[in-house]
Homo-oligomer: A and B are copies of this chain.
Amino acid sequence: MELIYYIDLLGTMVFAISGAMAAMRHNIDIFGAAFTGFVTAIGGGSLRDIFLNLRPVWVDDGNYLLAILTGVIIAILFKKVLGKLARTLSLFDALGIGFFTVVGVQKSLAFESSGIAAVVLGLFSAVMGGVTRDTLLNETPLIFRKEIYATACLSGAALFVLLNRIGVDYNLNAFISAAVISVVRILAVKYKLTLPIVGG
């Protein structure tokens, strides 16, 4: 459990970095960067918790806000270096969405959502921070227009619910499902895999 908690803090920090960096690509002041980092980091989990009628974890545990503050400061201080590490950051992001999706599904099931709602709430945990970030920055949400991203989360979330129902060991299941998400995402970036466009 301890380990999960620290991974959660670390993941929150990484999301804050990505949010602040996205904001800095706009003509935005320090506060705007910090705010966007904050929203990106807590948006997904907060929405999940609100739908579950719970208080988001950061309201009670100040460490999450400290992790975000650290992430924002790192983003501002090391902007140039981080800008060159796009590939590494993308890898971290792939690991992050795997982790956050599975944690989100687990929490939803623990608070007795339906199985299909747990899949949706797992997806939300991973991607809604980014959606809010893009909406704030007045951009079409990234998840609508780049390589397979949300779909990876959705597949892994569904897999977790399925394996859970047929009785696969909880920790093994979490590991497998998170790995599926991260690997699908990494392959999608590497080979530029996209979903069919249905519009136009």
Contacts and interface: CB of A to CB of B under 8 A. Distances in A.
A60 B124 CA distance: 16
Which of the four size classes fits the interface of chain A? Answer: 35 or more
Contact of A31 (B31, B51, B79, B195): B195
Interface stretch (A7-15, A113-121, A173-181): A113-121
Interface string A37-79: 0100000001000111111101111100110000000001001
Contacts of A56: 51
Given A131-B136, A144-B29, A24 B198 contact: yes
A199 interface: yes
B196 A29 contact: yes
A150 interface: yes
A29 B59 contact: no
A117 to B, nearest CB: 5
A167 interface: no
Contact of A198 (B76, B140, B143, B151): B76
12 contacts: A26-B140, A27-B199, A28-B197, A28-B198, A29-B144, A30-B195, A31-B154, A38-B120, A50-B50, A50-B51, A53-B53, A138-B139
